[in-house]
Amino acid sequence: MRTPVALFVYNRPAHTLKALRSLAACDGASECDLVIFSDAPKTERAASAVREVREIISNVEGFASVRSVLREKNMGAASSIITGLTEILRDRGRAIVMEDDLVFSKHALGFLTTCLDKYAAHPNVMSACAYNFPARLMPIPQAYEYDAYFTPRFFPWGWATWERTLDNVDWSVSDFQRFSASKSEVQALRDVGDDLFELLVRQQAGEFDDWVLPYSFSQFRHSYLSICPVRSLVDNIGHDGSGLHCADTRLFDNSIADVGPVRRLPVTIFSDRRLIRAGQRAGSKSIMRRAQRRLMDSALKMRDLVGRWQLPDRSL
């Protein structure tokens, strides 16, 4: 069975082109069916960029098949992804999901497809994610023997799932009020990621249009897991101020050019407490950790700025 890849695009032509090129360069791309969901412009100002994106996606090659779904009315980010994801999962039973600001390693599709095959019958595995925190935020213990790990945290930047998971996702987070009143349950969510509860509170208050937090919360509520590579197989290039929910930061950048294939998957489905704690620290809201991340981000931005200032080396 060929694997369907759902790519969601909107009004960023340069990002979309990079995403498509990286996807087409992946091992196994020619054996995948690409379905591109293009949302309609929300404003007249966005119309020109949406037309440019649609011109780009009309000339895509390198896959077993390519189909574009051009929305006639603007659906918004969350509704566009929820609707498209539901459509493709109901039709095909499984899917790899990608957005227009992601650049894949050549090994990303292979990893996600392998996980779709390997864990299809494991109901406690809800998703396979190609992203992981960079080592600067989440150092991996040297003694860890596998190339991937299981975590209760969900990473939406390049992932895969099965139709069976839809029945367990509450997109409206209908029990949020009851949940938020329980200190023990809130703490359990913080143990997954210290930033998740505050983000969920803001999402439920309508501060931003988002599908990730309801999906993450549903995974948490059912005690399901994601499998992620130790070294990220995707780089998010949307942290340049162009993304809907992405601040201008270099903290989450990943160097993926030299990342090899994921060969050693865990023999059993288990959570390694060392990696869970490392992931918790990566998103910690403590004053010290936030200060460390601000300093780190400033240093990374300064490095990029100095790199742009440097004259090209003309020596022989």
> What is the DSSP code (8-state) at residue 130?
S
Whether residue 132 is contained in a domain is answered as yes
Whether residue 316 is contained in a domain is answered as no
Whether residue 315 is contained in a domain is answered as no
Whether residue 302 is contained in a domain is answered as yes
Domain that holds residue 72: 3-309
Distance CA 65, CA 158 (A): 20
pLDDT at 120: 96
Q: Nearest 5°: CA angle at 239, between 151 and 259?
A: 55
pLDDT at 298: 75
CATH number at residue 212: 3.90.550.10
pLDDT at 285: 73
pLDDT at 286: 76
pLDDT at 311: 46
- Tell me phi and psi for residue 219, to 5 degrees: -60, -45
pTM, full prediction: 0.89
pLDDT at 290: 73
Residue whose C-alpha is closest to residue 273's, from 84, 143, 107, 129: 143
Count: domains in the chain = 1
Whether residue 108 is contained in a domain is answered as yes
> What is the DSSP code (8-state) at residue 164?
G
Is residue 224 within 8 A of residue 125, CB to CB? The reply is yes
Beta strand 94-99 pairing with 3-9: parallel
Looking at residue 293, its amino acid is R
Query: Could you list the pLDDT tens digit for every one of the 316 residues in the chain?
Result: 789 999 999 999 999 999 999 999 999 999 999 999 999 999 999 999 999 999 999 999 999 999 999 999 999 999 999 999 999 999 999 999 999 999 999 999 999 999 999 999 999 999 999 999 998 889 999 899 999 999 999 999 999 999 999 999 999 999 999 999 999 999 999 999 888 999 999 999 999 889 999 999 999 999 999 999 999 999 999 876 665 555 677 788 888 999 999 999 999 999 899 999 888 888 777 777 778 777 776 777 666 656 555 544 443 3
Strand-pairing partners, residue 236, are 102
Whether residue 243 is contained in a domain is answered as yes
Whether residue 81 is contained in a domain is answered as yes
